[in-house]
Structure 1
Amino acid sequence: MVTIGIITQARATSTRLPGKVLLTAGDRTFLEHHLDRLAGTGLPVVVATTTNVDDDPIVVLAEKAGVGVFRGSEHDVLSRFAGAARGYGLDGVVRVTSDCPLIDAQVVAAGVERFREEDDENLYVSNCLERTYPRGMDYEVFSTARLLDAETHATLAADREHVTPYLHQNRPGNVQLLNLPWHGGGAQYRLTLDTEDDRLLLTTLIEKYRADRLNCADLVALLAEHPELPALNEHIEQKKLGE
Structure 2
Amino acid sequence: MKHGRIVATIEARMTSSRLPGKVLMLANGIPMLLHLVRRLRAVPSLDAIVIATTVNDADDPIAEFADREEVAVFRGSESDVLGRVIGAARSAGADIVVEITGDCPIIDPELVEQTIRTFLHHQADYVSNSVVRSYPDGMDTQVMTLAALQRSAELSDDPLDREHVSRFIYQHPDMFSLVHLVAPPSLTWPDLGLTLDEANDYELLKRVIERLAPQDELFGCGAAIAFLKTNPDLLEINRQVVRKGDQ
TM normalised by structure 1 equals 0.94
Q: How does 1:70-219 map to 2 (within 5 A)?
A: 70-120=74-124, 123-170=125-172, 173-183=174-184, 184=186, 185-210=188-213, 212-219=217-224
Q: Distance in 2 between matches of 1:180 and 1:157?
A: 27
Q: In the TM superposition, what is the alpha-carbon distance from 1:130 to its structure 2 partner?
A: 1.1
Runs of 4+ aligned residues of structure 1 deviating over 3 Å after TM superposition are none
* Distance in 1, Cα, partners of 2:138 & 2:130: 10
Q: 1:230 aligns to what? A: 235
SS in 2 for 1:125: strand
CA distance in 1, matches of 2:205, 2:217: 10
Question: Deviation digits for residues 203-235 of structure 1, max 9, x if unmatched?
Answer: 111123337431111111111111011221112
Identity %: 38
Structure 1 CA distance for aligned equivalents of residues 212 and 118 of structure 2: 32
Q: Tell me the SS of whatever aligns to 2:244.
A: coil
Please give the secondary structure, in 2, of the residue aligned with 1:7: strand
Please give the alpha-carbon distance, in whole angstroms, between the structure 1 residues aligned to 2:37 and 2:80: 23
Q: Which runs of 5+ in 1 are unaligned?
A: none
**Structure 2 residues not aligned, in runs of 5+:** none
Name the residue aligned to 2:73.
Answer: 69
C-alpha distance in structure 2 between counterparts of 1:88 and 1:69, whole Å: 9
Give the RMSD, CA atoms, in angstroms.
Answer: 1.5
